[in-house]
Amino acid sequence: MLLAFSAKPEELEVLMLSLTFGNVEVQNCLRNVVTLFHYIEKEKAWRKENGRPEGFEGLAARKPIGEWHQHPHMSPEETWKSLFKPTPEPLGTEEAADLQKVKDAHKLFTPSLKPAHEEMLQLLRDNEPDTITIVAIGPLTNLAIAAATDPEAFLRVKEVVVMGGAVNWPGNCSAELPHQPPDLHLLSSPLVTSIPVPPFNLIKQPNTPLRRQLNIRNQMTPGAEFNTYADSVAAARVYALTSPNPKTTMPPVVGKKALPPYPEKLSRQLKVKLFPLDITEQHLLPRTLFNKYIEADALSGSPLTEWASLFLISTFRKIASLDSHLDPDTIGLHLHDPLTIWYAMASADPLWKFVTEDLRERSMLIDLKVETSGQWTRGCCIVDRRQREVKQDLTVSLDEEVVGDAGGWRDARKGNRIERAVESPGGEKFANLILERVFGSV
């Protein structure tokens, strides 16, 4: 998010932040976001006092809508919670003044009391089609609800950029995995199966029943990336909108609270750009580069640098502690989420490369599906690697199962249409860019 807020107005404009569950429950996630805004405000004031460019021009142009479904001295006062609660009526003079004081202290964003999907759909309705990009760096829950609520309004989006999935790469595993994509046959070999489970949990929560439930839900698997695993049904439903016939790739309906099916006919197909682990794990922020940058004299006293250093330095230490054989000089932090923001900022760069044809070299985007009900494979991305001919101009009913083609992989009328990122303008370039954009030049 810091990278997005540091973007220039001509690169992108942040309209909304939508939160969903992840390694922490939603209110703690919201607290982290409010803390981030708190430190941006402090950083801007510090830069102004020291004659440095204030940066974060995008926030100055428009305040994004904030929605929500430790070091004590490093967080804002808890009064921010009142921003996300209905204003009590009647409100006395003193209470009104206190509430206004809280609003003035958090003036970089506009809090919303609406559910995420309602705000999302309203923004899409209020703006011209193909002018808004949704960047999803967590489970696709809010997007799936929005798409189910009003599919046509949701399809006004220009494209959905997703950090998620693992196609030719293992799922979220330990830091000992190599940074080069392994041969597919190695996924079941002793080289991979012998990798130990990391001896820690990434959830920064007290040891409470909630933490234990999050630990159970947020497991890592050999084949699934976390965001896709965490809500595989949401991912499958969103990707189904890329199909000319979404019903052919919709996940099985389980339970009475399932989202409704899409209409039989829709005005257009969704455009999805997928950034799986295959490419995100090849983009690193090296510890040596980060340390050298933040130790520069120009950043001495920077509130944002102090705040970011607290959790990033401890993260680098945790990575190093996982394996004593790791070279301290080569330890790096994977830039999974920031990579999608970089694409949103510089999508016109010709050095971005996407796979737009699958292994059978047919003229259509990749038919990538998400497994939602497998005992061992939930959240895995499935593609057809058989290099078999896809049949055009079939006339059999879409609901009819063709002998020898379970799932309709060889029927050109069925399947998803996903673009998968395979190359960026450069990993080393990105590491330097993100430091300069977020912390300023040194």
Tell me which DSSP letter residue 183 carries: P
Reference 108, options 161, 53, 37, 176; nearest CA is: 37
Among all chains, which residue has been given the structure tokens 């990749």? 366
Reference 55, options 436, 431, 432, 337; nearest CA is: 436
For residues 294-309, average pLDDT: 95
pLDDT at 36 over 50: yes
The Cα 160–Cα 205 span in angstroms is 31
For residues 21-43, average pLDDT: 81
For residue 68, name the pLDDT band (cuts at 50, 70, 90): very low
Q: Is the peptide bond between 90 and the residue preceding it cis, with omega within 30 degrees of 0?
A: yes
Residue 274: CA count within 13 A, CB half-sphere: 31
Q: What is the pLDDT of residue 400?
A: 87
Least confident of 4-13, 168-177, 278-287: 168-177
Least confident of 27-31, 174-178, 276-280: 174-178
For residues 372-394, average pLDDT: 88
pLDDT at 289 over 90: yes
pLDDT at 91 over 70: no
The amino acid present at 417, given as its one-letter code, is R
Rg (CA), the chain: 23
The Cα 414–Cα 129 span in angstroms is 25
Tell me which DSSP letter residue 389 carries: P
Q: Which residue has the higher pLDDT, 252 or 72?
A: 252
pLDDT digits (tens, 9 = 90+) for 194-208: 433 333 333 344 566
Instruction: Find the length of the chain.
Output: 442
The Cα 158–Cα 12 span in angstroms is 13
- 10 Å Cβ neighbour count for 78? 9
For residue 187, name the pLDDT band (cuts at 50, 70, 90): very low
Q: Which residue has the higher pLDDT, 176 or 296?
A: 296
Asked if residue 441 lies in contact with residue 296, where contact means CB atoms within 8 angstroms, the answer is no
Least confident of 86-90, 281-285, 296-300, 437-441: 86-90
For residues 105-114, average pLDDT: 75
Q: What is the pLDDT of residue 203?
A: 36
For residues 382-402, average pLDDT: 86
Q: What is the DSSP string of 335-369?
A: -HHHHHHHHHHSTT-TT-EEE-S-TT--SS-B--E
The per-residue pLDDT of the chain, averaged, comes to: 81
Q: Which domains does the chain have, with CATH numbers?
A: 1-114 (no CATH), 132-283+335-387+410-442 (3.90.245)
Report which listed range, 73-82, 92-101, 272-281, 356-365, is most confident.
272-281
Q: What is the DSSP string of 390-427?
A: PBPS--S-TTSPPTT-TT-TTBTTSS--EEEEEE-S-H
pLDDT at 346 over 80: yes
User: What is the pTM (predicted TM-score) of this model?
Assistant: 0.82
pLDDT at 323 over 60: yes
pLDDT at 438 over 50: yes
pLDDT at 103 over 70: no
Distance of CA 81 to the CA centre of its chain: 24
Beta strands in 22-125 (DSSP E): 65-68, 110-111
Nearest 10 degrees: Cα torsion 250, 144, 159, 170: -70
For residues 129-137, average pLDDT: 97
Report which listed range, 56-60, 95-99, 278-282, 387-391, is most confident.
278-282
168 to 14, 151, 165, 368, 401: CA distances (angstroms): 32, 31, 10, 12, 28
Q: What is the pLDDT of residue 110?
A: 80
pLDDT digits (tens, 9 = 90+) for 3-12: 999 999 899 9
The Cα 11–Cα 55 span in angstroms is 14
pLDDT digits (tens, 9 = 90+) for 72-83: 333 445 555 555
390 to 236, 360, 412: CA distances (angstroms): 22, 8, 6
